[in-house]
Amino acid sequence: MSSHEIWYIVFSYLLGSVPFGFILFYLSERKDIRSEGSGNIGATNVMRKKGKAFGIATLLLDMSKGVIPILYGFKHFQDSPTLIMIGGAAAIIGHIFPLFLKFKGGKGVATLVGVFITFSYPAILVFLGFFVATVWITRFVSLGSIIGTISIFFYTLLTNIPEVAIVVLVIAILVISKHKANIKRIIDGKEHKFSWKKNG
């Protein structure tokens, strides 16, 4: 692996580590989002505690952390889709285990969406189909994220080379493992249900 490829992966991780939800909430409220609501730094918790404008801004910024490495990868490593996906995986890992927050971050879903919007647009349509249907039926964003992530893995398995599918499997396992508390709350009947209203 060349130094350029190594720095690509490192940069992708560092970009993924930027905690946009934490930054936006702190700048507006002078509070740590990790001490509010579910304690997560992602868009859902920011939306719940600050409103949909801040939630959407967090979502778009977290998605950009996945978009940028893939765009760079296609420009410089177009002959190596596996390396490009590793760059995307590094960004997702950065969001989940951010260097700037002592490796305690979000769940990686928004960054995963950003990766696949750029890497494989049809895959994100599959994700959105399962995500929207699940949230519509259950009103559990966490469950929609889990089902959507699983659908992306199976889509990749059927449409890409095995090496890319293996990287996506690792991503899926990480993202789903970050939802274990949500899964327990769903089982216990204590999981928050989605609402557009602030503090809903």
Angle at 151 between CA 148 and CA 157, to 5 degrees: 145
Report the alpha-carbon distance of residue 139 to residue 150 in Å, rounded.
18
Quick one: which of 98, 188, 191 has its CA closest to 144? 191
Task: Calculate the CA dihedral of residues 39, 40, 46, 50 and round it to 10 degrees.
Answer: 0
Helix (H, G, I), strand (E, B) or coil at 159: helix
What angle (nearest 5°) sits at the alpha carbon of residue 157, between those of residues 58 and 183?
Answer: 50
pLDDT in tens, 119-130: 999 999 999 999
Summarised one tens digit per residue, pLDDT across range 183-199 is 999 999 988 887 755 54
**Is the distance from CB of 114 to CB of 67 less than 8 angstroms?**
yes
pLDDT of residue 200: 47
**Number of C-beta neighbours around residue 175 at 10 A:** 25
Could you tell me the pLDDT band of residue 48, with boundaries at 50, 70 and 90? confident
